[in-house]
Structure 1
Amino acid sequence: MFGVIGEDLVPRARSRLPVVCNAGLGLFTLVFVWLLDADRFMERAGMIAFCLTVAAFIHSMCLFAEEWFFHSRQRYHGRISEIFQACFKGHVILGMCAIFLMLMLGGVSFSHEQLSTMAIRCAVYLLLNSLGVLGLTPVQISEICEVKKMNVAHGLAWSFYIGYLKLILPVLQNKISQYSSTGARLSSPRLHILLPLNAVVPSEPEEEDTNVVFHENLPELELDMAGVRKRSYKNSVYKITQNNETFSCVLEYATPLRTLYQMSQESSAGFGERERKQQVLLFYRTLKQILENSLECRNRYRLILLNDEHTGDPHQLSRVIIQHLKQQDGEIHMDPIPEPPNEVYPVPEEGQIGTFLSADQMSSVPSLMFSLPQSLRSEPVETTDY
């Protein structure tokens, strides 16, 4: 039994608020310290910044050693330039050099005590970094995976679109027309895709709700795909009954959710229930963005995100589907307006303004009409024949 999920539960993309807060607090602290001790502010700030960049550079050197000694052939084909780009951040090296030159040109000299302090700071940074204290938080890792499209959900959503939806949705209208020619009628011309939040995908919707009954399949789509001749793609029509009222639509579950569920059942995948729900929501958001940006799939689908909380109603699934079907009755879909042909009309000569466009062209094709340039000091000239 399922209930519909509101869009407010779907996670949005993370903003740049932490970066703005960090920058604001850092600048405020620097200004405060500068007001307290303006004389030695540049020297102390430069020394601390230099220590941090040197420590980051040393850490990059350690990464470079690992990649060079053990992974140069397998990962980089022996190319030192690629290893260097993978281990060193360009702004770290540039920042270290810039700060060093600034300190040297400013005539700043370090005493033995200051050099010792810098060395201790670098050592503490390296130790804390090796212990994971300065490592990325789960939120930062999640943000990186979402920005770089590295989540399991991203790959599954793109695979579902490229390998299936992009093939069947553009021809869905033709298949429905063939189906309707037999006298049958659908309540909606869209493909309705069910996405349970718990990723439990039954083999038949009747297992979840007896009011959802298989009727028949649409005409098959056969394509030569990946070495398989005449691979068959099918879509099924279901009858949904409620209060002596029957609806029919093309319905199916999102099959990639079965992969997410099976991964959560394997201990080696490291994929718990909480991670599974997050990936389902991310799969829904990613797939929705992909389909909204696809001109050939627009207005041909309906994503239905289902809650996994048991409401005790054995016919909750049919209620949710019918709710979506009724909601579509009031929607107005605007087809893209075709652009007029890029035709060039000749500029009329003097005395032909009324004849260079026909009446049909004036009523159907918007155009700009320009008058010939005239001197500002010339008198009006009669151009008609009468």
Structure 2
Amino acid sequence: MSGVTREDGLVPRARSSLPVVCSAGLGLLMLLYAWLLDSDRFTERAGMIAFCITVERVIHSMCLFAEEWLFHSRQRYRGRMNEIFQACFRGHVVFGMCATFLMLKLGGVSFSKEQWSTIALMCTVYLLLRSLGFLGLAPVEISEICETKKMNVAHGLAWSFYTGYLKFVLPDLQNKVSRYSSTRGKLSSSRLHILLPLNAKVPTKPEEEDTHVIFHENLPELERDTAGVRKRSYKNSVYKITQDKETFSCVLEYATPLLTLYQMSQESSAGFGERERKQQVLLFYRTLSQILEDSLECRNRYRLVLLNDEHTGDPHYLSREIIQNLKQQDGEIHMEPIRELPNEVHPFQEEGSIENFNDVHHAAYPEDPMSNDPTLMFSQPQSLRSEPVETTDYFNQNHAKR
């Protein structure tokens, strides 16, 4: 679960299809405007332009094919021509060019020399502008492609953090907290609090950021064989957080993959500036939240605390954020795992007085307020032709007088 640091105003949402809708709407308006201006030659001109655009894309794909076939066929494609063709040619472009050409031929439209010259000139201009970079993708489009295809650094780090650590640490956390609470004292929260600073600066010890956050001790270790290492040890630390003479305790740690993001931003060869680093931290937060929420083993066992880096001058910002998260959890209601019901049947008496019904009711539903186990009640089997029997005292008394 996420923190309470107004992440809705910080974490970017996934991009919508608004640009596609706007482009389609404006395209239809321009198409209508062109038809109103010259409806007689509209079909011919529209077909020529559509054919020209598809030819331009096919020629550009041929240039890509030449590069891949001559220099990368063995290393990247193992000499498989079909894979090279699929990587360079988009199927709908080739299909569109052929379909447009057939429609023009079947419709009896033939291009003059002047029109063929125009098509050649448009293809030339397109290829020159493309080679010079004027028709390249905008940074927003590149970002959208990377997010859609899960190709960002943050995606890889989030999945690595989950599969290599959280996936087996979080399910075992409840057992470790229970063993700790039985001997050391109850914690303020049984969840693992994962701290994610926006600037990706992860200190060695939380005490370096806030003196009100003090290390207490480690939980029982988890050992498992991983990647050839026998009995690799995984630890989680308990910290004491104080505020206004009030002490809280919880399990917390920083998200270690943020160290990678910060170190990448310090290397010029990585091409990773401060702005890109912050975007990757937010994307890491969003991706990790989605992964953990989709995991039944990890749900309700964690807390992501997004720390804003605009708190300079506040030496106790960290402790306030952690305590705010702990207090918010007190009012949350969580669904416990469904337990298998016992195979018990409590019969319900169809005939008898209200007193008998109350006795059965109290037997089936004891008045113990701490009992949350549901019970099942079934009536005795009866024939579908039987007449209903009135069992109330009022009806019995009136019937006896008669």
Same fold (TM > 0.5) = yes
Partner amino acid for 1:102? M
Deviations 1:215-258 (A, max 9, x none): 00000000000000000000000011111111110010000000
**Once superposed, which parts of structure 1, at least 4 consecutive aligned residues long, lie more than 4 Å away?**
338-341, 365-372, 380-384
Against the structure 1 CA distance between its residues 106 and 237, is the aligned structure 2 distance closer, same or farther, given a 3 Å change threshold? same
Q: Is the 8 A contact 1:5 1:306 kept in 2?
A: no
Q: Distance in 2 between matches of 1:15 and 1:367?
A: 52
Partner amino acid for 2:253? E
Deviating more after overlay: 329-338 vs 55-64 = 329-338
Give the match's secondary structure for 2:250. Answer: strand
1:88-167 correspondence runs (5 A): 88-167=89-168
Deviations 1:319-368 (A, max 9, x none): 11111111111111112435779x9xxxxxxxxx99xxxx98xx845899
- 1:190 Cα offset (Å): 0.4
Number of the residue aligned with 1:283: 284
Number of the residue aligned with 1:79: 80
Deviating more after overlay: 24-33 vs 194-203 = 24-33
The answer to whether the aligner puts 1:43 opposite 2:39 as a matched pair is no
- 1:371 Cα offset (Å): 9.8
Q: TM-score, normalised by structure 1?
A: 0.88
Q: Distance in 2 between matches of 1:71 and 1:147?
A: 26
1:293-372 correspondence runs (5 A): 293-338=294-339, 364-365=375-376
Deviating more after overlay: 123-132 vs 9-18 = 123-132
Deviations 1:99-150 (A, max 9, x none): 0000001111111111101100111111111111111000000000000000
Number of the residue aligned with 1:31: 32
Partner amino acid for 2:193? H
Q: Distance in 2 between matches of 1:330 and 1:324?
A: 11
Q: Distance in 2 between matches of 1:282 and 1:11?
A: 7
Against the structure 1 CA distance between its residues 113 and 292, is the aligned structure 2 distance closer, same or farther, given a 3 Å change threshold? same
Give the match's secondary structure for 2:183. Answer: coil
Q: Distance in 2 between matches of 1:278 and 1:340?
A: 48
Number of the residue aligned with 1:250: 251
Number of the residue aligned with 1:178: 179
Q: Distance in 2 between matches of 1:339 and 1:235?
A: 32
Q: Distance in 2 between matches of 1:260 and 1:243?
A: 35
Equivalenced residues, count: 361
- 1:4 Cα offset (Å): 3.7
Q: Distance in 1 between matches of 2:337 and 2:48?
A: 61
Deviations 1:20-66 (A, max 9, x none): 00011111111111122111101000000100100100000000000
Partner amino acid for 1:40? R
Number of the residue aligned with 1:214: 215
Q: Distance in 1 between matches of 2:387 and 2:10?
A: 72
Deviations 1:73-114 (A, max 9, x none): 000000000000000000000000000000001111111111
- 1:180 Cα offset (Å): 1.0
- 1:72 Cα offset (Å): 0.3
- Which structure has more RCO (C-alpha within 8 Å, separation ≥ 6)? 1
Q: Distance in 2 between matches of 1:158 and 1:141?
A: 21
Partner amino acid for 1:249? C
Q: Is the 8 A contact 2:311 2:317 kept in 1?
A: no
Between the aligned residues of both structures, percent identity stands at: 76
Give the match's secondary structure for 1:171. Answer: helix
Give the match's secondary structure for 1:219. Answer: coil
Give the match's secondary structure for 1:33. Answer: helix
Against the structure 1 CA distance between its residues 367 and 156, is the aligned structure 2 distance closer, same or farther, given a 3 Å change threshold? farther
Q: Is the 8 A contact 1:201 1:258 kept in 2?
A: yes
Deviating more after overlay: 179-188 vs 40-49 = 179-188
Q: TM-score, normalised by structure 2?
A: 0.85
Number of the residue aligned with 1:347: none
The answer to whether the aligner puts 1:266 opposite 2:267 as a matched pair is yes
Q: Distance in 1 between matches of 2:200 and 2:10?
A: 16
- 1:9 Cα offset (Å): 1.2
Against the structure 1 CA distance between its residues 66 and 244, is the aligned structure 2 distance closer, same or farther, given a 3 Å change threshold? same
Partner amino acid for 2:21? V
Deviations 1:288-315 (A, max 9, x none): 0100111000110000000111341211
Number of the residue aligned with 2:198: 197
Q: Distance in 1 between matches of 2:380 and 2:99?
A: 61
Unaligned stretches of 5+ residues in structure 2: 344-349, 352-362, 365-373, 390-402
Against the structure 1 CA distance between its residues 368 and 168, is the aligned structure 2 distance closer, same or farther, given a 3 Å change threshold? farther
Q: Distance in 1 between matches of 2:242 and 2:387?
A: 77
- 1:7 Cα offset (Å): 2.1
Q: Distance in 1 between matches of 2:51 and 2:123?
A: 10
Q: Is the 8 A contact 1:5 1:307 kept in 2?
A: no
Give the match's secondary structure for 1:169. Answer: helix
Against the structure 1 CA distance between its residues 181 and 87, is the aligned structure 2 distance closer, same or farther, given a 3 Å change threshold? same
Give the match's secondary structure for 1:116. Answer: helix
RMSD of aligned residue pairs (Cα, Å): 2.5
